Amino acid sequence: MTSTVRPAVPADLPLIAQLIRDLADYEKLSHEVRFDEATLGEHVFGPRPMAEVLIAEQDGQGQGFALFFHNFSTFEGKPGIYLEDLYVRPQARGTGLGKALLQRLAALAVERGCARLEWSVLDWNAPSIAFYRSLGARMMDEWRIMRVDGAALQQMGQ
């Protein structure tokens, strides 16, 4: 079995969209998925990309992805990489694809002079937490994610 991690190309958009839906199913958040595939493609592959995607393949078949973007640490004075989503299909778990995706992201962070690689994990996802810790990641227990969206975002933006 041959495993590879490569940057996504526009032809991967249907695969990326399906992997996002698969991830939402796994996280029991399918009701939250509202993206339009064309708009997603514009934000990933358009003239001003807002995110990048890596595709993990086994024998040429897409089995996982990592969607990420740059953030910035004022304390470090350097950019970072924020991993928005990491997903490997159940049949491909345990084969090293998740680790390969994270290793490639870490290599990109180093190549790009980033201070850190960060992501969030659901508190109930014990297998993922254990996996991330096995790679040297640490939980930032003192930090909580804040979000403004929907009508509250519209109101705040007025």
**Which of 70, 149, 148 lies closest to 108 in space, CA to CA?**
70
Rounded CA separation 139/11 (Å): 36
Identify the weakest region by mean pLDDT among 1-5, 37-41, 44-48: 1-5
The DSSP letter of residue 81 is E
- Confidence grade of residue 1 (pLDDT, cut at 50, 70, 90): confident
CB 129 within 8 A of CB 139: yes
Conformational region of residue 60, where left means phi above 0, alpha means psi within -120 to 50, and beta covers everything else: left
**Which of 67, 92, 68 lies closest to 79 in space, CA to CA?**
68
Mean pLDDT over 25-43 rounds to 96
Reported as a single tens digit per residue, the pLDDT across 97-120 is: 999 999 999 999 999 999 999 999
Q: Which residues pair with 84 in a beta bridge?
A: none
For residue 158, give the H/E element and its range: none
The torsion angles phi and psi of 72, rounded to 5 degrees, stand at -145, 135
Domains of the chain as residue ranges with CATH: 3-156 (3.40.630.30)
The residues that are catalytic are 132
Q: Which pLDDT value is given to residue 61? A: 96
> Structure pTM?
0.94
Reported as a single tens digit per residue, the pLDDT across 18-33 is: 999 999 999 999 999 9
Integer Rg of the chain from CA: 16
